[in-house]
Copies of this chain bind each other. A is one copy, B any other.
């Protein structure tokens, strides 16, 4: 009976104040027997790629209003391995539907091997000739979030003016490209010169700017959108949300996707001008991708087509090894990632 050493990442305690730091995390090791009873339905997966997402910080807090909203946002218990979306390979299977060496995608953990008891948390993966990491990012919840947030929440029309914040992030870079493919005018913002260049030169955004170089975000947006904003895809909240709302046209729509400014600093809460919201008939709509599985096949078919024809670029930022997970995660809060942040845990 093979026994492996399984390394996993935990938080030492809840992280309630400020951005996460290395000392908040701990890498633990356990011995794992690679054996399951037949027909137990239990599967052991060797994890290949795991997703690193900012929203996990809310799960690491003692209290957060997100905890009760949806199962995937449930609080994380210090000392225990941390659930995360990912791709892996079946090592041993007590489930008749999965065999050794099957590739799977679903709810794994920030660890090298994951024991899965609830079979519905995994799906067999057909890589369709794409890198396995794509199934964590663009074909995973980042892609569906971008697609559903743009098309279902904002219902863009060709020619409309679209603004995307964190536009080089896992979701943002896809939103901008989907909107461009529809024929919208798209401007993104990001936090470095390199990212701004990438948006304009590689991803085909009509324009982009570095928000750190702007003293007044309202004026900056007025400059980039002299005719106003129709759609704001909000990944950050805070001051940028206020600035976008004050520049919106009548019947503008805000897809509230993420609030990274506010996750680690309660004082950065946005105070949007509600007079604008009322008179310009602005819609601000929070959303989560699991509610939009009804359009999953439409999303996949469009995205596969765009990728196959080179019409969309998938930005990935991959670190190596379970020990790199804390710094990969921490980096999200300092804008270190370009595109989807993923950690590769083992060779395919």
Contacts and interface: CB of A to CB of B under 8 A. Distances in A.
A275 B274 CA distance: 18
A262 B278 CA distance: 12
A281 B275 contact: no
A66 B277 CA distance: 9
A179 interface: no
Contact of A280 (B241, B274, B276, B286): B286
Given A279-B73, A281-B286, A241 B66 contact: no
Given A246-B65, A250-B69, A271-B271, A281 B277 contact: no
A114 interface: no
Interface in A134-164: none
A58 to B, nearest CB: 7
Nearest to A277: B286
Nearest to A73: B279
Interface stretch (A100-108, A115-123, A253-261): A253-261
Contacts of A257: 278
A295 B66 CA distance: 37
Interface residues of A, number: 38
A36 interface: no
A7 interface: no
A65 to B, nearest CB: 5
A88 interface: no
A259 B278 contact: yes
Nearest to A269: B271
Interface string A240-273: 0100001000100000111100110000011111
Interface string A20-34: 000000000000000
A285 interface: yes
Contact of A58 (B241, B271, B275): B275
A291 B250 CA distance: 11
Interface string A26-55: 000000000000000000000000000000
15 contacts: A58-B275, A65-B246, A65-B275, A65-B280, A66-B276, A256-B274, A256-B278, A269-B272, A269-B273, A270-B272, A272-B272, A276-B286, A278-B286, A278-B287, A284-B285
Q: Across chains A and B, which 6 residue pairs bring their CB atoms closest together, nearest first? A: A69-B279, A66-B279, A277-B286, A278-B286, A269-B271, A284-B284
